[in-house]
Structures are given as structure tokens and as C-alpha cells.
Structure 1
Amino acid sequence: MRKNESTALIEVNAPDRHFVTSLQKGMDVLTCFGRQHSRLTLSEVARLTGMSPASARRSLLTLHQLGYLDSDGKRFWMLPRALLVAHAYLSSRPMPSLAQPLLDALSERTRESASLGQLLDNDAIIVARSTARRSLSTGLGIGSRLPAYCSALGRALLAGLPPAEALARVRGMKRVALTPQTVHSVPRVMELLERCRAEGFATNDGELEIGVRSMAVPVRDQQGQVVAAMSIAVRVERMNMSELREAFLPMLHRARDTLAARLFPV
């Protein structure tokens, strides 16, 4: 390793000297808003972020002054300026833009919703999505997070990790039964990850939402590392799991392979 490479590696691995805690707190405040938390009080923000009320207040007032949040004096909510952060990612990274037309074509052919996700902490975060005419009630969109242990996207992503790392991640997750069908025990989740490694795809059958089935396949780079996962979701009344696999898995594979070829040309 050359000297400048060694120095850079040391700097990356030494966050204590460069880490800006106030910036972290500001980002934590921005990302605590969501569909279920669209308007929040100071105390609610403090609880969701784990900050002290004083720290939460400083972050909220700073973001308000910068135009990322608005307030009525009691509650705070997001303003369009926050979209600049998401736009910077979507416009600067090739994966979402390359995946979008493939997801649109897949959704048009199947008349179902298709998504691309990546692993973020304990969740799969959707970075590209195409919604079909048959809308699902989950209301997912770009930036939505799905618990990795019980979503098809998340399982496809976790299965791409070394088994020991996947086990450590699953053990460290907050795992709850979101529906009566949710698989959430560590042994059962690990069984499903092993099945995904063997079969090349992951499934979810009413575990996130009653009445919705989904299937996901991993997207790999030239070294075989899983960098994303692509999924398709259907209503249970349309087809069972066997029919879902037979009808849509080949199309999902083709879309995934096309994306991988465009992302990592030989």
C-alpha cells in the first residue's frame, strides 16, 4: 500500500477527530420525519432521535432558520428544501437512474409494483420504484424503509452478507411480528437467508402487510458482491407464491441482469 493510500485509510477510520456531532444531530432530526411522523413536537423529536430536549431544540431551530423545516410554534414539519438532499443522491449516483426504466418496463409488463433497494442499517431502503395500476396500500416510495428481517428486499440483501455478519445483524435488530405471518425469530430468519443463498431469491408472504406477497433477487457487482436487490409485489388474490415465482421470477432475473450489465460493464 502506498503512503498516501495508507494515510487516507487512517483518516477514514479515525472519525473521532473529524466527526461533527452537531451535523449528525441535524441529520438525525431531518430523518426522523416520515409518513407516521409528519408533524412533530420538540419532545417527540427528542424521543425519536434519543437527543436531549436542548439538543433537539437547537437542531430544530437551525433547520427551521435554514428553510428545511417549518413550524407553527409547537410542531415542526418538512419543507421542499429537504428534497435537495434526496435529489443530490438520485442525480449523482448511476444506480437509481439506470434502474428506473427497467423497473418501469417490469411494472408495465406485470402490472405490478417493482422496486430497487439497498441495505441501510437494519432496513432495506428503496432507491428506485415503479408503481403499477394495481396500487398496494403500503404507499411505498423512494426513501421508504422496510425492516430487513421480514421483507423480501431485506432478506435478499442480508443473504448477500457473510453468514456471520448476517447473523450478527439479525441478532442486533429489533424484530417484531408486524402481522400474524411475520417470521421474526433469529433461527427462522437465518433459515430463510440460507434458502435465499441456495435458490437465488427471497420471498415475503403477508409478513409486512396482510394480503401482499413479494419476491426479490440480489444485484451483484463484478466481484459477486450484493450491492442492491430488485423486487416485485402482488396482491394475494391475484396469485399464490408458486404462481408468482413461475410468472415473474424470469422477468425479474432479466431486469436484474440488465441492470448489473449496465452498472458494471465488462
Structure 2
Amino acid sequence: MRKNEPKQLTDVNAADRYFVTSLEKGLDVLTCFGRQHNRLTLSEVARLTGMSPASARRSLLTLHQLGYLDSDSKRFWVQPRALLVAHAYLSSRPMPSLAQPLLDALSERTRESASLGQLLDDDAIIVARSTARRSLSTGLGIGSRLPAYCSALGRVLLAGMSAQDALARVRGMRRVALTPQTIHSVAQVVELVDRCREDGFSTNDGELEIGVRSMAVPVRDGTGQVVAAISIAVRVERMGMGEFRDAFLPMLNRARETLEARLFPA
């Protein structure tokens, strides 16, 4: 190695030496806020992040001083500056911007809401979305997270893994019944993931929200690897599951094919 040449991070130990734990904690604090946790106390942040109150306090006060959070001295909430973090992703990655007009067109044709999601930890996170006038009560938007084990988006993304890796991921998830229709046992979830791998799409019938059905298909890169999923949702009173599949699966697949061609041109 030449003098003053930066050492490459070639192993785990080298990477660990450059890991900034305080930055990790700050990001954990910033991302623990959400629709259900929009104003949080110090003790609530500590509980949600698994930090000690002292660590949580340092992160909260730093983010407050930097303008990412505001506070009334008891509770904290997110400031518009936090949007800069999301904007950095949305503006620098091609997938959301290329997907958005396709989702808009799909939503316009079907008069339903369409989403693009990617796997993040044990969830499918929405990175692009178009909402129809028939909006669903879940209030999903960009950045919303859906449990991978019981969402159509999540099961498609799990099906992109090998059967062994998907089984291990499902076993390690916290799986609860969000509605009386939620499928959450390891065996049943894995069976649905395997079926999705064979069929090329996945469905969900009232497992996230009673009265809402959804369907998703995978988006693959040039090597065939699943990198995202496109979904569409409909209320049960509009159409049955069979009609839903027959009417909207071809549209989903056309949107997927177009996005794949734009993202990964031959």
C-alpha cells in the first residue's frame, strides 16, 4: 500500500472500526416517529428504540438543535428539515421517479391506489405511490411500512429470496394477527410465499385491514433478481377476489414489464 493511500474496508473488523454508533442512534431516533407516534416523550423514544434514556436524550437534543425535531420541553416531533433525508433518496435513485408515472397511469385506469415497495428489514417500505379517489382508510404514503409476512408486497419480496432464506426471515419476524383474517403462522406464511414464487404474484384478503384486498407482482433486474414489487388494492365491495385477479393482474404485469424495461434496458 502506498503512503497516505486510504485503506479499503475489506473485512468486517475494518468496517466496525469506522462505524459511528452515535450516528446510528440518531437515525434510529429520527425514524421512530410515525403516524401512530407523532409526538413522543423521552421515555417513549427510549422504549421504541431500545436505547437507555441517557442515549435517547442526547440524540433527541442533538436532532432538536440541528432543526430535525421540535419540542415543548416534554414531547418531541419531527420538523420539515427531516424531509431532506427522504428527498436525498427520492431524487438520487431512478426507481421511484421512473415508477411514479406508471403508478399514476395504473391508478387512473383502475381508479384504485397503486404502490411500489422494497424490502426493509421485516417490512415492505413504500417508495412510490399513487392514490385514487377511492382512498383506503389505512392512509398509506411514501415511507409507510407494511409487515412482510401478511402483505401482498411483502410476500412477493420474500418470494424473491431462496426458499431457505425466506424461511429463516419469516421465522425471525414478529408475527401477530392484525385482523381476524391475518395469516401469521410460519408454515402458512411460507406456503403462501412458495406459491407466490411459483405463480409470479401474491394476494392479500383483509389481512392488513378488514374489507381491503391487494395484489402484487415482482420487479426484477437484468439478472432476474427481485428488487421491488408493484401492488394495487381494492375494497371488497367493489369486486370479488377472482374478478380482482382477472381484471387487474394483466395491468400490474404490464406496468411491471414497462418499469423493468426502463430501469434495466437490454
TM-score norm. by structure 2 comes to 0.96
**2:159 matched residue in structure 1:** 159
CA distance in 2, matches of 1:248, 1:234: 10
CA distance in 2, matches of 1:134, 1:97: 23
What residue identity is the alignment partner of 2:183? V
Cα distance, 1:10 vs structure 2? 1.1
**1:35 matched residue in structure 2:** 35
What residue identity is the alignment partner of 2:227? V
CA distance in 1, matches of 2:145, 2:13: 27
CA contact (8 A) 2:118 2:157 kept: yes
Say if 2:146 is the partner of 1:146.
yes
Output aligned runs, 1:202-217, within 5 Å: 202-217=202-217
1:204 is paired with a residue whose SS is strand
**1:4 matched residue in structure 2:** none
What residue identity is the alignment partner of 1:25? K
Say if 2:83 is the partner of 1:83.
yes
CA shift in 2, pair 1:265/1:196, >3 Å: same
TM-score norm. by structure 1 comes to 0.96
**1:182 matched residue in structure 2:** 182
1:10 is paired with a residue whose SS is coil
Point out 4+ residue stretches in structure 1 off by more than 6 angstroms: none
CA contact (8 A) 2:9 2:15 kept: no
1:203 is paired with a residue whose SS is strand
**1:198 matched residue in structure 2:** 198
CA distance in 1, matches of 2:27, 2:97: 25
For each residue in 1:129-183, what CA deviation from the matched residue of structure 2 results, as whole angstroms up to 9, or x when unmatched? 0000101000000000000000000000000001111001000000000000000
Structure 2's unaligned 5+ residue stretches are 1-6
**2:3 matched residue in structure 1:** none
CA distance in 2, matches of 1:23, 1:40: 20
For each residue in 1:57-85, what CA deviation from the matched residue of structure 2 results, as whole angstroms up to 9, or x when unmatched? 00000000000000000000000000000
Cα distance, 1:9 vs structure 2? 5.9
Cα distance, 1:12 vs structure 2? 6.7
CA distance in 2, matches of 1:259, 1:90: 16
What residue identity is the alignment partner of 1:26? G
1:134 is paired with a residue whose SS is coil
CA distance in 2, matches of 1:74, 1:223: 51
What residue identity is the alignment partner of 2:102? L
Cα distance, 1:14 vs structure 2? 3.9
For each residue in 1:79-119, what CA deviation from the matched residue of structure 2 results, as whole angstroms up to 9, or x when unmatched? 00000000000000000000000000000000000000000
Cα distance, 1:240 vs structure 2? 1.0
Say if 2:78 is the partner of 1:69.
no
Cα distance, 1:191 vs structure 2? 0.4
Cα distance, 1:254 vs structure 2? 0.2
**1:3 matched residue in structure 2:** none
**2:258 matched residue in structure 1:** 258
What residue identity is the alignment partner of 1:149? Y
What residue identity is the alignment partner of 1:220? R
CA distance in 2, matches of 1:41, 1:188: 38
For each residue in 1:30-53, what CA deviation from the matched residue of structure 2 results, as whole angstroms up to 9, or x when unmatched? 000000000000000000000000
Q: What do you get for the CA RMSD once the two structures are aligned?
A: 1.0
**2:4 matched residue in structure 1:** none
**2:51 matched residue in structure 1:** 51
**2:102 matched residue in structure 1:** 102
**2:228 matched residue in structure 1:** 228
**1:247 matched residue in structure 2:** 247
What residue identity is the alignment partner of 2:44? E
CA distance in 1, matches of 2:88, 2:221: 23
CA distance in 1, matches of 2:207, 2:229: 18
For each residue in 1:210-254, what CA deviation from the matched residue of structure 2 results, as whole angstroms up to 9, or x when unmatched? 000000000001110000000000000001110111000000000
